């Protein structure tokens, strides 16, 4: 199960940072995991993947929660901050073919519940038909074989963490299919005010900068779980390049644009980078794309 594997990755990093710590993994099934016959938009959005864990954190039943950042709501709970952003795994999307296929047929049926993926897939493969599909990786693979899909779209990061790269039929570059904000990054959430001595060894500065830029872009656009808007930041040295996809609900069209910023101009406060430049980049790109959209309408 992917959620367990992700928790194990963070556990192992904590133990590497401090071998004396005792770490126990507590598995929890969320509402989002249990209700698989409806889209996230119908049942309440991405918050359904975190609310049970938020409650467990607030009640002290667990001390940390590990999430795939792309599944977290854009609005954060101040009492339960994201403490660390793990080193980013492959952020790309992957096309997985039905067993027996080496490529898609002329008018393929694609299983995805993501409007972001469907919007960009339609441009790459005109003539696709999309049908909703939900569940963990193993569930989707089983449905792919038994429910009439020709292919499905998954995050490369999940396949890699599960050691299932062999099922990937085609990897899309981040330019071909802009990933979801935060895709490939593990977020470690805890309680405000508590001390975690191992944090600096878990938190990856490049992941943090990318996450702040991407999430701010989506936040300014007002994008939630139903929005196909997307953002992907690449950090190279001190340079951050953010590419954003903005979908105009009124016209049914989307635009892609990018911005580059120099992170070295950020000042360190109390010895820690606040990466204000990364968030500013997300905000500036979103506002620019909104203004351009208004000018066209």
DSSP the chain: -HHHHHHHHHHHHHHHH-TT----------HHHH--SS-HHHHT-GGGGTHHHHHHHHTTS-S-EEEEGGGS-SSPPTTS-EEEEPPP----EEEEEPTT-SS--SS-EEE---HHHHHHHHHHSTT-EEE---S-HHHHHHHHHHSS-SEEEEEHHHHHHTT-GGG-SEEPPTTTSPPPTTTT-EEEE--TT---TTHHHH--HHHHHHHHHHHHHHHHTT--TT---EEEEEEETTEEEEEEEEEETTTTEEEEEEEEEEGGGSPEETTEE--HHHHHHHHHHHHHHHHHHHHH-
User: Which residues are within 8 A (CB) of 86 and not within 5 positions of it... i.e. 6 or more apart?
Assistant: 9, 10, 13, 185, 186, 187, 188, 202, 203, 204, 207
- Higher pLDDT among residues 114 and 45, named by residue: 114
Find the range with the poorest average confidence among 28-32, 76-80, 195-199, 262-266.
28-32
Question: Looking at 71, 93, 150, 203, which residue is catalytic?
Answer: 71
What pLDDT is stored for residue 46 in this prediction?
A: 54
What pLDDT is stored for residue 136 in this prediction?
A: 87
Cα of first residue to Cα of last residue in the chain, in angstroms, is: 46
**Mean pLDDT of the residues in the chain:** 89
Q: Which domains does the chain have, with CATH numbers?
A: 1-87+183-203 (3.40.190.10), 93-171 (3.40.190.10), 204-297 (3.30.160.40)
- The 10s digit of each residue's pLDDT in 6-62 is 999 999 999 999 999 999 999 887 654 555 455 445 444 455 668 889 999 999 999
Q: Is 71 a catalytic residue?
A: yes
What pLDDT is stored for residue 168 in this prediction?
A: 95
Strand partners, 239: 236, 262
What pLDDT is stored for residue 227 in this prediction?
A: 77
- The 10s digit of each residue's pLDDT in 240-251 is 999 999 998 888
Asked if pLDDT for residue 140 goes beyond 80, the answer is yes
Asked if pLDDT for residue 275 goes beyond 80, the answer is no
- The 10s digit of each residue's pLDDT in 191-234 is 999 988 888 899 999 999 999 999 999 999 986 556 799 999 99
Contact predicate 289/257, CB 8 Å: yes
Q: How many percent of the chain have pLDDT more than 70?
A: 88
Long-range contact list for 212-215, CB < 8 A, 24+ apart?
A: 212/275, 212/278, 212/279, 212/282, 213/240, 213/242, 213/278, 213/279, 213/281, 213/282, 214/181, 214/182, 214/242, 214/282, 215/69, 215/74, 215/181, 215/182, 215/282
What pLDDT is stored for residue 39 in this prediction?
A: 46
Please state, in angstroms and as integers, the Cα–Cα distance from residue 206 to each residue in 162, 225, 236, following that order: 23, 24, 8
Establish how many alpha carbons lie within 13 A of residue 252's alpha carbon, considering only the half-sphere containing its beta carbon.
1
What pLDDT is stored for residue 222 in this prediction?
A: 85
Distance CA 19, CA 118 (A): 44
Query: Which pTM was predicted?
Result: 0.89
Distance CA 105, CA 280 (A): 44
Asked if pLDDT for residue 272 goes beyond 50, the answer is no
């Amino acid at each position: 199960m992917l959620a367990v594997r992700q928790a194990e990755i963070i556990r192992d990093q904590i133990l590497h940072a401090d071998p004396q710590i005792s770490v126990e993994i507590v598995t929890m099934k969320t509402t989002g995991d249990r209700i698989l016959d409806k889209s996230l938009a119908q049942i309440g959005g991405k918050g359904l993947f975190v609310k049970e864990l938020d409650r467990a954190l607030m009640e002290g039943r667990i001390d940390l929660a590990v999430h795939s950042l792309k599944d977290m709501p854009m609005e954060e709970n101040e009492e339960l901050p994201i403490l660390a952003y793990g080193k980013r795994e492959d952020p790309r999307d992957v096309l997985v073919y039905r067993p027996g296929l080496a490529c898609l047929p002329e008018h393929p049926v694609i299983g995805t519940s993501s409007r972001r993926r469907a919007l960009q897939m339609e441009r790459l493969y005109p003539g696709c038909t999309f049908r909703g599909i939900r569940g963990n990786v193993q569930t989707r693979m089983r449905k792919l074989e038994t429910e009439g899909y020709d292919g499905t779209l998954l995050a490369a990061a999940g396949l890699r963490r599960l050691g299932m790269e062999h099922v990937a039929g085609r990897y899309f570059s981040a330019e071909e299919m802009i990933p979801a904000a935060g895709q490939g990054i593990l977020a470690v959430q805890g309680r405000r005010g508590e001390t975690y001595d191992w944090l600096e060894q878990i938190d990856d500065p490049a992941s943090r900068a990318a996450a702040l830029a991407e999430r701010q872009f989506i936040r300014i656009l007002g994008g939630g779980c139903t929005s196909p808007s997307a953002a992907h930041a690449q950090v190279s040295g001190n340079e951050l390049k953010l590419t954003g996809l903005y979908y105009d609900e009124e016209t049914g069209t989307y635009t892609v644009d990018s911005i580059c910023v120099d992170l070295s101009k950020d000042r360190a406060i109390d010895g820690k980078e606040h990466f204000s430049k990364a968030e500013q980049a997300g905000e500036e790109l979103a506002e620019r794309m909104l203004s351009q959209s208004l000018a066209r309408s």
